[in-house]
Copies of this chain bind each other. A is one copy, B any other.
Amino acid sequence: MPRTRSTAPSAAPPAPPAAPPAAAPGPVRLGPDARAAFRPAAVDITAGFWHTRQETNARVSVPQGPGLLESAGNLHNLRLAAGTAEGAFRGAYPFVDTDVYKWLEAASWQLAQHRPDDAELAAEVERIVALVAAAQQPDGYLNTWFQLVKGGERYQDLRWGHELYCAGHLLQAGVAHHRATGRTGLLDTARRFADHIGSVFGPPGSGRPVDGIDGHPEVETALVELYRETGERRYLELAAYFVDRHGHGLLGHEAYCQDRVPLREAVNVEGHAVRQLYLLAGATDLATETGDAELRTATERLWHAMTATKTHLTGGLGAHHDREDFGDPYELPNERAYCETCAAIASVQWSWRMALLTGEARYSDLVERTLYNGFLAGVSLDGERWLYVNPLQVRDGHTDPGGDQSARRTRWFRCACCPPNAMRLLAGLGHYFASGDEQGLQIHQFTSGRYAAGPLAVRAETGYPWHGTVALTVEDTPSGRPWTLALRIPQWCRAFRVGCGESAYDQDDAPVTDGWLRLTREWAPGDRVVLDLALEPRLTAADPRVDAVRGCVAVERGPLVYCLEQADHPGGGLDDLVLDPTRPLTVEHRPELLGGVTTVVAAGRRRRPADRGWWPYGTAPDAGPGSAAAPGDGEGDGDSVELTAVPYHAWANREDGAMRVWLPLS
C-alpha cells in the first residue's frame, strides 16, 4: 500500500504513444520487424561514475589507440597489404586486424556522442578508414595475415584462421562509422567483404563453394547489424546460415569452436567463453529479427544455465586459463578465474540483447554486475593500462607469469583484443542503459544524464553507485497521454523507497513486477521521481556447490563487489586473514583513495598458523564443520585486524600484491 494519499497507478495498460520511440545511434538498432519487448533508447551520460570513465576513455585511451596500433604493427600490416609499405607482417596472430576495427568502432561512437567536434580524432578515423579500404582486395576479401603470410590462401583454415571473425569486426566498425558520421566509406568496405563472404559460403546445394563456419564466432551478430543498417535481408540470411551451421561437425565437433552441438540443443554454455558469447549474441539478434521461437528459447535456456552455474560473483566468465574455456557447472576458481575482459564485454552485449528481446530485468541485472565489476576491473583508473584476465584472488607469494595473463596491468597485449574492445564498450556505454516501448521508457542502468526514447525524456541526477538516491525529472512528455516510467530495481536490492509526486512506496508496497518498478501516469515536464536504494554493505555467500568458496563470504555494496588488497593490509599477507561475520560492517567514502571510492571495513583477525612441519595435511578434528578444515587450527585466534575492502573494479591500481574477493570465516 502506498504510504501517502495518492493516485495509485492505473492497472490498465496505457494507450500507446503516437509513434514508437526512435532507435538510438548505438551498437544495437533493431530492424523494423524485430520481435522485441523493448527498443534501445539513447542516454547521455553527463556526470558521475560512468562519465568519469567515459572521459578517461575519451581523453586517454582512445587517443592513444592509433599510436599503439602503429607500434604493434597493425597499421603497418594494412599498408603492406595495400602495397604502400615494405617489410614483413608484424604480430603473432591472424586476427590482428580486429584491433584496428574495434578501435574504429570505439572512435566512431565517441565522435557520435562525446566529441562530435573533435576534428583531430575525426581525421585519425578517416586516415585509418582509408588504410583499411586500400588493403582490401578487388573482390572484397580483406585479411592482412592471409594476404601477406599465407599467400592469399583463403578459407583453408576456418578453425584457426579467424577470417570471418575479422570480417565481423569490420562489419561492426563499418556500421558504427556510418551511424556515427553518416559517411559510407568504411561501411562500403564492410559490405564488399560481406558480399564476398556471401558469394563463397552457403549450405550444400547452394552453389556456393564453401559450406563452413568460422572457429571464432562474431560474424553472426555483425551480419545481423549490417542487415539492420542496410535493410538487406541477405545479410540476415547469411547470419542465420552461420548460426545454424555451428554444432554439426564442420570444425570436428569441437566445443572450443562452438561446434560440439547445435545451439538449439545445447543445455549449457561451453568451450571458449568469448566464442560462445559472441555466438549467443548473434543468435539472440537473429531470434529478435526473425521471431524464431526455438532459437529464443535456446538463448534463454543457455543464459539461465550460464548465470546459475558458470558465472563468477563479479559477472566474470570463463574458468579455465587453458583454452580460455568455460569450466564445468559450479567450477568457479578464484586465483585461476580467467574472466577475460572480452568475455565480460561479450556478456554485456549478449545480455543487453536478451533484455531487449524479452523485456526481463534480470538480464540488465547481470549487465550491471558485469559492468561495475568483471568488466571495469579490466580498465585501469588512468585509462592507460589493462588486464586481460580478471582473477578473484592473487595469492600471497604469487609468481606472476607476466604477459597477457599477468595480474599486473599492461599497456598493450601480444593478443590485444581486450583494450580496443573495452574502448568501444565505454564509448557507446549509454546505449546499454535504457530502452523504450509502446508503453514508455525503461531505465536499466542508473547514471546522471538524460534518458530519451522517442518523445519521452527524463533527466537523472545521482551519485550512484556510491550513493543510492536517483532523482529523476521528466523533461519531454506528450501531453494528455499516460505512459510508464519503468525503473529496474536491482536484484541485489533488499530495501528501497520511491517518491513520485505525492505517492511514496517502499519495497513492500511498490508496484514492482519481475524487477521493474512501473510508474504509470500522465506526466508533465518537471515531474519528479526520487528513488532511494538502500546501500547497506552486505556479506554474500555462494551456492554450496561452488566448492572454491566454501566457508567464505564476499563483501558487496550495491552493485559493487569488494576485495581486500595487500596495499591496505601491511604487516602480513592476505591469505591468513579471517573475517568475523558477527561484527558490523562500516562504510567510509574516501575521496583521496583510488580516484574516490567508498570502502567497507570489516572486523577480522590474522590466523596464527601452527608450524605443521613439512606436510600440510593432518587429522581432521571430528568436531563441527567449522574446525575441520584447519588441522592444528585453534592454536590461537590470532591478532585482530581491520579488514579494509575496496571495490574490486579498482584493484591493481597501486603496487603489486595479493588480492582476495572471498574471505574465509575461520
A residues engaging B (CB < 8 A)?
255, 268, 270, 304, 307-309, 311, 313, 320-323, 327-331, 333-336, 362, 365, 393, 395-399, 401, 405, 491, 494, 538-554, 575-576, 581-582, 607, 609, 612-626, 628-631, 633, 662, 664-666
What residues of chain B lie closer than 8 Å to A576, measured between beta carbons?
544-545
Q: Cα distance A629–B629 when bound, in Å?
A: 13
Q: Cα distance A405–B325 when bound, in Å?
A: 14
What residues of chain B lie closer than 8 Å to A623, measured between beta carbons?
581
Contact B617 A542 (CB under 8 A): yes
Contact A553 B620 (CB under 8 A): yes
A624 and B626 contact, Cβ closer than 8 Å, known pairs A330-B395, A575-B545: yes
What residues of chain B lie closer than 8 Å to A554, measured between beta carbons?
617
Q: Cα distance A401–B327 when bound, in Å?
A: 10
Among B270, B309, B541, contact of A620 (Cβ-Cβ < 8 Å): B541
Q: How far is the CB of A220 from chain B (nearest CB, A)?
A: 23
A327 and B331 contact, Cβ closer than 8 Å, known pairs A362-B614, A609-B545: no
What residues of chain B lie closer than 8 Å to A308, measured between beta carbons?
612-616
Among B320, B538, B615, B631, contact of A619 (Cβ-Cβ < 8 Å): B538
Q: Cα distance A539–B622 when bound, in Å?
A: 8
Among B309, B333, B619, contact of A541 (Cβ-Cβ < 8 Å): B619
What residues of chain B lie closer than 8 Å to A494, measured between beta carbons?
619
Contact A664 B399 (CB under 8 A): no
Nearest 8 pairs between A and B by C-beta?
A625-B665, A541-B620, A321-B322, A543-B616, A539-B620, A551-B551, A328-B395, A550-B551
Q: Who on chain B is nearest to A395 by CB?
A: B328
Q: How far is the CB of A324 from chain B (nearest CB, A)?
A: 10
Residue in A304, A321, A322, A617 with the greatest tally of chain B CB atoms within 10 Å: A617
Q: How far is the CB of A566 from chain B (nearest CB, A)?
A: 14
A-B contact pairs, 28 of them (CB 8 A): A307-B615, A308-B612, A313-B617, A320-B322, A320-B336, A321-B321, A323-B401, A327-B336, A330-B575, A331-B395, A365-B615, A491-B615, A494-B619, A539-B628, A541-B617, A541-B628, A541-B631, A543-B630, A544-B607, A544-B633, A545-B609, A550-B664, A551-B551, A551-B626, A551-B629, A581-B625, A625-B664, A625-B666
What residues of chain B lie closer than 8 Å to A396, measured between beta carbons?
328-329
Q: Cα distance A612–B308 when bound, in Å?
A: 8
Contact A628 B255 (CB under 8 A): no
Q: How far is the CB of A521 from chain B (nearest CB, A)?
A: 31
Contact B331 A335 (CB under 8 A): yes
A329 and B395 contact, Cβ closer than 8 Å, known pairs A321-B322, A550-B629, A553-B628: yes
Contact A619 B336 (CB under 8 A): no
Q: Cα distance A328–B268 when bound, in Å?
A: 31
What residues of chain B lie closer than 8 Å to A335, measured between beta carbons?
327-328, 331, 547
Q: Who on chain B is nearest to A544 by CB?
A: B630
Q: Cα distance A545–B606 when bound, in Å?
A: 12
What residues of chain B lie closer than 8 Å to A401, measured between beta carbons?
255, 323
Residue in A308, A330, A628 with the greatest tally of chain B CB atoms within 10 Å: A628
Q: How far is the CB of A628 from chain B (nearest CB, A)?
A: 5
What residues of chain B lie closer than 8 Å to A633, measured between beta carbons?
544
Contact A622 B582 (CB under 8 A): yes
Q: Cα distance A603–B547 when bound, in Å?
A: 20
Q: How far is the CB of A195 from chain B (nearest CB, A)?
A: 38
Contact A664 B544 (CB under 8 A): yes
What residues of chain B lie closer than 8 Å to A541, measured between beta carbons?
617-621, 628-631
Contact A328 B398 (CB under 8 A): yes
Q: Who on chain B is nearest to A362 by CB?
A: B614
A614 and B307 contact, Cβ closer than 8 Å, known pairs A270-B399, A330-B575: yes
Beyond A331-B336, A551-B626: 7 further Cβ-contacts under 8 Å? A334-B547, A539-B622, A544-B630, A550-B550, A550-B552, A581-B620, A582-B622
Q: Who on chain B is nearest to A553 by CB?
A: B620
A548 and B547 contact, Cβ closer than 8 Å, known pairs A540-B618, A628-B553: yes
Q: How far is the CB of A651 from chain B (nearest CB, A)?
A: 17
Among B331, B393, B575, B625, contact of A626 (Cβ-Cβ < 8 Å): B625
